Amino acid sequence: MYNRDMDTESHQICPAPLLSLNHLPWIPFLFFLLLSGCFTKTGPLVDQYQQTFSYQKIGFSLSMPGGWQVTSEPGVLFSSEFRRQDISLVRLALLTEETIPFLKHYLRISEKEKFSKRMLHFSKGQIGDINLRASKHYKSGNKTWIEIVWSGERGGISKIFHSYLIPTDNAIVQLHFEFPTRFYNSPDNMIKPVLKGVKINALPEPEPKELALIYRNIGTIYKNQGLFKEAIDLYRQALLKEPNDIELHILLGKTYFQKKVYTAALRTFLKATELSSQNAEAYKGLGETYLKMDRFDNGISAIKRALSLTDQEAPLYLLMGFAYLKQKKTEEAIQTFQRLLEERQFETEGHLGIGKAYLSMRLYEQAIFEFERVLERQPAHKEPHCLLEKAFFALGESKKAEEEKAVCNQGDAEIPRK
């Protein structure tokens, strides 16, 4: 499912006692368990003697029915196998997803990724030829579980998988049953007794700060996938828990900006600057938003404030240079873009900006020089060709202007320069 590397060292295996309680005094027995580490960790616990898996942190436990044997499999928290006459009839692997603990968000995020790629995360690349067969929802108590049936090939052997997504209060448990195709017959007879051993306990409500962090993390995954509406909803939920978190306001403002809801972005960045007058990212976001709204003086003022708060100046000079261009303040624009060239950052954009300034000042030869510098770095860049057409036309060099016009109309393609 969603890519999350499992911590294979996080679970504790509790060995079976060497003697029964009738043969061991209580104190030595407890001392034995302490030495084994069974009371020293709060992570997942595997009891080979009782054939159980428990993870108190997420409120989940699993008791295996008779006939199953606990095994060890890299990359999973718990694994078991049902064998008959030394033949493996079915394997079980258990993993948890704690980064995205809400099933609806887990499914929404997962659907952006191809099913075969999601299953490769689980199989660590050991299963090929992956195909989805069926998927269904069903109720178990007050929770919805998901069953996914799919096929694949491991080690040249055809397999059929039944995967179950089981939500707890703060995680999603994945149970993956693996059947060799040749033994795939009445799978429910093997699966249902195992699922009966699942127990989910209610957990206390997370602290507001912890819940805000969960919402923020999920929101950022949505944002990175371009699902801006969903990201905004999660960031707003996080802010209900932590209303004074500046970073959350900035993330929300950036997402509004990407969704082109500039009024909401402006309101959010202004709130961030009210919470802290020392945050460069808040002022950068505020400046960008003002510029998108054609409020250039406000935008440049905010960018200058950001420049006073950070050493990461180049992106800010780039914003400010193009803001000056839009205001037709060509001298200020040239000076600003030259700062980029001095710092050897965004040199392509710097030459392009200076060229545009010269073009607007009717300094055509200087403009041509700058556009040529852009094309030396990015031969496939379309815009310099369109601007060169104007410069050559203004100089009366119609042949060169027509050549540049042809390239400009052709689109973004690398054209050999003469």
CB 304 within 8 A of CB 290: no
Identify whether residues 352 and 412 lie together within a single domain.
yes
Query: Same domain for 389 and 278?
Result: no
Residues 64 and 193 in one domain: yes
The answer to whether residues 180 and 39 belong to one domain is yes
Answer yes or no: is 324 within a domain: no
Output the pLDDT for position 37: 40
Q: Does the structure show a pLDDT above 90 at 7? A: no
What's the pLDDT at 411?
A: 55
Quick one: how far is CA 272 from the chain centroid?
24
Mean pLDDT for all residues in the chain: 88
The percentage of residues in the chain with a pLDDT greater than 90, rounded to a whole number, is: 77
* Residue 307 domain flag: yes
Q: Which helix (H) or strand (E) holds 34?
A: helix 26-36
The per-residue pLDDT for 412 is 52
In a domain, 320, yes or no: no
Residue 105 pLDDT > 90: yes
Confidence of residue 11 (pLDDT cuts 50, 70, 90): low
Q: What mean pLDDT do residues 266-288 have? A: 97
The structural domain count of the chain equals 3
CA 250 to mean position of chain CA atoms = 17
Residues 6 or more apart whose Cβ sits within 8 Å of residue 266: 286, 289, 290, 293
Which residues, in sequence order, are bridge partners of residue 356?
none
Residue 237 lies in a domain: yes
Tell me the per-residue pLDDT of 332-370, one tens digit each, with 9 for 90 and over: 999 999 999 998 889 999 999 999 999 999 999 999 999
Q: Are residues 182 and 103 in the same domain?
A: yes
What is the per-residue pLDDT across 149-176, written as a single tens digit (0 to 9) for each? 999 999 999 999 999 999 999 999 999 9
- My answer on whether 368 and 399 are in the same domain is yes
Q: Tell the burial category of 63 from Cβ atoms under 10 Å away from its Cβ (0-12, 13-18, 19+).
A: middle
CATH number at residue 353: 1.25.40.10
- Strands annotated E in 121-156: 127-140, 143-154
CATH of the domain at 112: 3.40.1000.10
Token readout for 197 is: 């051993």
In a domain, 357, yes or no: yes
Residues 229 and 159 grouped into a single domain: no
pTM: 0.81
Range of the domain at 398: 330-418
What tens digit of pLDDT does each residue of 41-89 get? Answer: 568 999 988 899 999 999 999 999 999 999 988 889 999 999 998 899 9
pLDDT of 418 reads 44
127-131, 269-273, 404-408 — most confident range: 269-273
Domain boundary among 260, 282, 312: 312
Predicted local distance difference test score (pLDDT) of residue 12 = 56
User: Does 7 fall in a domain?
Assistant: no
Residues 136, 79 share a domain: yes
Domain boundary among 277, 312, 347: 312
163, 168, 170, 174 alpha-carbon torsion, rounded to 10°: -10
Pair (132, 46) in one structural domain: yes
The DSSP annotation for 239-279 comes to HHH-TT-HHHHHHHHHHHHHTT-HHHHHHHHHHHHHH-TT-
Q: What is the pLDDT of residue 74?
A: 87
pLDDT band for position 17 (cuts 50, 70, 90):
very low
Query: Within this chain, do residues 96 and 191 fall inside the same structural domain, yes or no?
Result: yes
Q: Predicted confidence band at 31 (pLDDT cuts at 50, 70, 90)?
A: very low
- Burial (Cβ within 10 Å: 0-12, 13-18, ≥19) of residue 57: middle
CA distances from 353 to 312, 322, 371 (A): 20, 7, 9
- Whether 81 and 212 map to the same domain: the answer is no
In the sheet with 60-63, reading across from the earlier edge strand, the strands are: 12-14, 45-47, 52-55, 60-63, 198-200
pLDDT digits (tens, 9 = 90+) for 107-148: 999 988 888 888 877 888 899 999 999 999 988 888 899 999
Task: Say if residue 154 is exposed, middle or buried (CB neighbours under 10 Å; 0-12, 13-18, 19+).
Answer: middle
Q: Do 145 and 216 have their domain in common?
A: no
Q: Is 321 a domain residue?
A: no
- Among 281, 312, 343, where does a domain finish? 312
Would 323 be classed as within a structural domain? no
Answer for the pair 314, 340: CB distance below 8 angstroms, yes or no: yes
The residue with tokens 């887990």 is 106
